[in-house]
Chains A and B, each alone.
Chain A
């Protein structure tokens, strides 16, 4: 079993819709969770981080964390074609310094 899992997609949503991206992790001791966006041929770009159970909102993005169920999700409201990218979930497993374990990423396609 992989330590951080994501559905590879592609997840296709129409423009203006809500895109919901999910991630599960295996280590119950994990404390910090990050979402990165990666456009094709580019490097990952940090979107959000979350440490506490519940929701954290930043503009059109909302990260949700449920430690009991060991999942973290990212909601993108009013999806735009420019949101089309691969979204990477990263977890600091075992609080191991700055070592992040990444999921395989979910490819999001927003259709005009």
Chain B
């Protein structure tokens, strides 16, 4: 079974631009969560989608947004990029939603903001 896929894998943007990242979950998985990983802050939760609805949101500004499509694929968007948005953005999928669900991570998208 194919794992979680993320595109693109690497991205370079300049301040003020916007970016859209894509995530395709494992087949049959309906929940997609997004995380940001930086050397300073570690892995931080951005948001979670299940059945096309945002179920949880982390403590990030409104410049970070996302959506999920009917086939469970998800996208996240960051508008008005700042230097501090440079990070590894990870998508994780799970079958359902709940405390006992195991999440499997994709390879990540490494974003560099210049």
Where the two chains meet, the residues of A that have a C-beta atom closer than 8 Å to any C-beta of B are 31-32, 34, 36, 42-46, 49, 51, 88, 90, 92, 95-105
Contact between B45 and A100, CB atoms less than 8 A apart? yes
1/0 contact trace for B30-53 toward A, CB 8 Å? 010101000000111100101000
Contact between B56 and A97, CB atoms less than 8 A apart? yes
Where the two chains meet, the residues of B that have a C-beta atom closer than 8 Å to any C-beta of A are 31, 33, 35, 42-45, 48, 50, 55-56, 58, 88, 90, 92, 94, 97-108
Could you list 27 examples of A-B contacts with CB < 8 Å?
A: A31-B100, A32-B99, A34-B103, A36-B105, A43-B88, A43-B107, A44-B43, A44-B105, A46-B102, A46-B104, A92-B100, A96-B56, A96-B99, A97-B48, A97-B98, A97-B99, A98-B33, A98-B48, A98-B92, A98-B94, A99-B45, A99-B48, A100-B45, A101-B45, A102-B42, A102-B43, A105-B42
Contact between B43 and A88, CB atoms less than 8 A apart? yes
Contacts of B94 in A (CB 8 A): 98
Inter-chain pairs besides A51-B100, A99-B45, A105-B42, 19 sampled, C-beta below 8 Å: A34-B102, A34-B103, A36-B105, A43-B105, A44-B90, A46-B103, A49-B102, A96-B99, A97-B55, A97-B97, A98-B33, A98-B94, A98-B101, A99-B48, A100-B35, A100-B103, A102-B35, A102-B44, A103-B42
Q: Which residue of A lies closest to B96 (CB)?
A: A98
Contacts of B50 in A (CB 8 A): 97-98
Contact between A92 and B106, CB atoms less than 8 A apart? no
| Docked pose: A101 CA to B45 CA in angstroms | 7
| Docked pose: A31 CA to B50 CA in angstroms | 20
